[in-house]
Amino acid sequence: MPNYIYIFIDASNLWEAQKAKGRFLDYEKTTNYIKGRFAGDSIKVFYYSAYPAEGTRSYSIDGKHKFFTFLKKGLGFEVVKKELKRIPVIDEHGESIKEKGNMDVEITIDALHNLDKYNTAIFFTGDSDFLALVTYLRRRGKKVYIFSSRNNISEELRTGSDGYTDILDLIDIWGRALKRRVENG
């Protein structure tokens, strides 16, 4: 029986692992690694990210949009993105802006909408909110694996899947080193 693999990448969750490793994930290497490890006949990758609104940063966000284009056109990923919501918050320290860009609902909808198209689901997330989805998929006969990092994985999700991989322990999936952005001020 062919093994069709769907990969769901929660970019904000994965960012924590990349910061811990000090390197960017190389998505082409990662896809090839998964295809080999799980004997995948075909792979489809979904990448979920929220991004800052234009003008809300002291730096350009053009690079982020170019990266989305690379994932879509260069690697064939399905890129699901939305602008961060900016929520005014007032507390004892005054007024500030909180940004939210949770993509959990979008990931869940895509995993369920495509249920009949894959045998194996791989989630790059450590968020315990996905436990209900993982449990549902497993009850429907899907193999479900979690890729995250030891500092960013819920115990429930780690033990509730068919397998957990700490991506910080993998060698051949990493790309260039992270560089700190210098703020203009």
Q: Which residues pair with 78 in a beta bridge?
A: 46
Phi (first) and psi of residue 119, to 5 degrees: -100, -30
Residue 155, both tokens: 């115990």
Residue 91, both tokens: 């507390």
What CA–CA distance (Å, rounded) separates 54 from 32?
34
For the chain, percent of residues with pLDDT exceeding 90: 49
What digits encode the pLDDT tens for the residues 11-65? Answer: 988 888 888 888 888 999 999 999 999 998 999 999 999 886 665 665 666 777 8
Quick one: average pLDDT of 169-179? 85
Residue 115, both tokens: 């249920």
CB 86 within 8 A of CB 99: yes
Residue 105, both tokens: 């609902």
What digits encode the pLDDT tens for the residues 57-78? Answer: 656 667 778 989 999 999 999 9
What CA–CA distance (Å, rounded) separates 103 from 66?
20
Please report the pLDDT score of residue 35 as a whole number.
94
Q: Where are the domains of the chain?
A: 4-177
Q: What is the mean pLDDT of the chain?
A: 87
CATH assignment of 4-177? 3.40.50.1010
